[in-house]
Chain A
Amino acid sequence: MLRLLLLLPTRTYRTEAFLEAARALGVEVVVASERANALAAERPDELLALDFLDPAAAAREAAEFARTHPLDAVVPVDDDTTVAAAAISAALGLPHNSVASAAAARDKHLMRALLARAGVPVPRYTLASLDEDPGAVAASVGYPCVVKPLFLSASRGVIRADDPEALWVAVTRLRAILEDPEVAERGGEAARHYLVEAFVPGQEVALEGLLLKGELQVLALFDKPDPLEGPFFEETIYVTPSRLPAGVQAELAAATARAAEALGLREGPVHAELRWNEAGPWVIEIAARSIGGLCSRTLRFGTGLALEELILRHALGMEIPSLEREARAAGVMMLPIPRRGTLREIRGQEAALAVPGVEEIAITAHPGQELVPLPEGAAYLGFLFARAETTEEVEAALRKAHRRLDFVIA
C-alpha cells in the first residue's frame, strides 16, 4: 500500500478534505503537524510532530522516520508547509519542487525579484525594513502604494496608502502585526521587513492550477467580483468559470505559467493571484499550494473528483482520470468579519440555505471567539457555497444568502 506524508498545520482548514481524499484513494496516511497531536504518543507511526519553520530539521526527522516507514509522497497543504515538504522530498529522493523554488514562492520579495528578472509583469516594488523611514523607501514606488508582509497569507497586513501620511499609518499597523510574538517567530528575519509596491488597478482573479513536469494545467479561473481597491484587501466572493473573454483568460494563464517557470516550480498545485487592466496581466502572487480555506469545495473534476484527490493522485504518481472541471458554475463567499468583537450568535442560517443554488454554509468561527478583522486578522466567520448554471446566478445566490445571515457581535 502506498504511504503518504501529509503536512497538516494544526490550524489549517484543509484537514478533513485531504484526509477524506486519502481515504478515498485507499492510501496509508502519516500526518505531521508543527505541534504534537494529543494522541501522538498513542500513534507514533501515524502522527508526527515536525518543525515546519526548520525545513532541514524536518527533513532529517522525516528521513529517519522513513527508514522504517517508507514514504511514497509528501504533500504540503498550505503555505506554512511548502518549503518543509520540498526539503523532505529532496531528502527522500521523491519528485517535488526544489527547496529553492518553494522558498521563493514563500518569500514575496524574492518572488518579485525572480518574476521581474524573468520579465513577468509585476508591480513596481521595493524592500523596506521596519527600521527605515517609510516615506523615503516609498519614494521609488510612488503613490498609491501597498505595504505587504513578506510571508503572511489571506491579505493579512496588506494595506493601501495613497499618500505619505496614510503610509505612515499603514506601516505602524503592519509593524504591530509583524511584532506579534507568534508572527515574529514564524517569520524570523522576514518579519523585520516588508514590501512596498505600486497599487495596480484592475480586475483581480485567482488561478488554480496543477504543474505536471513543469507544464501548467489550468484547473479553474475564479473571478473576484467584489472590488479590491483597499485600504484593506479582504477576499470575499470567488466564482468560476470566469466571465473574462477567452483571450484574456489565455493571457492570464500564460502569465501564471511564466511565473511558475521563473520561480522554478515544476510539480504540484499552484494558486496565483493576478490582475488584469489595459496593460495586460499582472502577477500579484503565485504560491506552491492549492486554494486556501474551505474554498476547494467549489471544485469538482470529471465525475466528481475533489481537488485534494487530484493533488494526491498527482503526488503519488497515480492516474488522474480528468483535469476538467464540472460544467456548472460554482462559487464561494468567504464570510468577512465585519468588526472587532466577541461573536455571540449566528442567525439566519436556514434562510440563507433556502436561497436557490446555495449548497452549504460552513461556519468556522465559534461563539465566544474574539473576532479580529483585517488587516490584523487571518480568519473568516465561515464559508458559503453555491452552484448554478451560470456564474451570474452563483454570485447572486451568494450575495442574497449573505444578506440573510446575521452575525451577532458584542
Chain B
Amino acid sequence: MPETGETEIRSKVQALLDTAINPAVAMHGGFVQLIDVKDNIVYLQMGGGCQGCGAADITLKQGIERMIREEVPEVTEILDVTDHAAGANPYYSPSKG
C-alpha cells in the first residue's frame, strides 16, 4: 500500500470521527481516537465513557466499524486497541445480572 493511500484513509477516517462519530459518543462522555493506519488496517482507541463501557463492543462493531467500512471501503480491518480494563469511568459497567 503506498503511503499516499494510507494518508488518504487516515484523512477520511479522521473526518468521519470528527463529523459523525465523536459528536455522537460525546453524548455518553466518550471519544474515539485514530491511533494508526497500517496495511489498510485502522487502529482505534476509545476513551472517556467508552473505555471499559459494557456497550463499547456494540458501539464499535455495530456502529463505528460499519460507518468506516461504508465510507472507506478500502479499509480491511478495524482494531480496537483500547485497554478497556483500565477504563476508570465507563458509561455502563458490565454485570452478570
Q: Report the stretch among B3-11, B22-30, B34-42 that lies at the interface.
A: B22-30
CB contact under 8 A between A364 and B85, given known A15-B55, A37-B59, A47-B63: yes
Q: Which of A10, A38, A79, A380 contacts B54 (CB 8 A)?
A: A10
Q: List A contacts of B25 (CB < 8 A).
A: 38-39
User: Which residues of the partner chain B approach A38 to less than 8 Å between Cβ atoms?
Assistant: 24-25, 27-28, 30, 50, 55, 59, 63, 91
Indicate if the CB atoms of A46 and B62 lie closer than 8 Å.
Answer: yes
Contact with B along A217-242 (1 / 0, CB 8 A): 00000000000000000000000000
CB atoms of A46 and B66 under 8 A apart = yes
- The answer to whether A153 touches B67 (Cβ under 8 A) is no
Residues in A whose Cβ lies below 8 Å from that of B67: 39, 42-43
Q: Judging by beta carbons under 8 Å apart, are B62 and A47 in contact? A: yes
Cβ of A140 < 8 Å from any Cβ of B? Answer: no
Among residues of A, the one whose C-beta sits closest to the C-beta of B51 is A366
- The answer to whether A25 has its CB under 8 Å from any CB of chain B is no
Asked whether A42 lies within 8 Å of B58 as measured between CB atoms, the reply is no
Q: How many A-B pairs with Cβ below 8 Å?
A: 114
Interface size class of B (residues with CB under 8 A): 35 or more
Contacts of B61 in A (CB 8 A): 15-16, 19, 23
* Chain A contact residues: helix, strand, loop or mixed: loop
Partner of A12, one of B52, B54, B62, B90: B54
B86 cross-chain contacts in A, Cβ below 8 A:
366-367
Q: Distance (Å) between the CB of A342 and the closest chain B CB?
A: 11
The answer to whether A379 and B30 touch across the interface, beta carbons within 8 angstroms, is no
Decide: A11 and B66 in contact? CB cutoff 8 A: no
Are B20 and A37 neighbours in the complex by a CB distance under 8 Å? no
Distance, CA A186 to CA B59, complexed state (A): 24
User: Residue B62 contacts which of A10, A31, A293 (CB distance < 8 angstroms)?
Assistant: A31
Chain B residues lying within 8 Å of A366, measured Cβ to Cβ, are 51-52, 84-88, 90, 93
Question: B76-97: which have CB < 8 Å to A?
Answer: 84-97
Most chain-A Cβ atoms within 10 A of its Cβ — which of B54, B58, B59, B84? B58
Residues of B within 8 A of A365 (CB): 85
Whether A156 contacts B52 in the complex (CB less than 8 A), given A38-B24, A39-B24, A39-B59, comes out as no
Could you tell me the distance in whole angstroms from the C-beta of B88 to the nearest C-beta in chain A? 4
B: which residues have CB within 8 A of A? Answer: 20-21, 24-25, 27-28, 30, 50-52, 54-55, 57-59, 61-64, 66-67, 84-97
16 more contacts with CB within 8 A, not counting A35-B92, A37-B59, A46-B63, are A10-B54, A12-B54, A12-B94, A13-B94, A13-B96, A15-B54, A29-B62, A33-B55, A39-B24, A39-B64, A39-B67, A47-B62, A152-B97, A154-B97, A366-B90, A380-B96
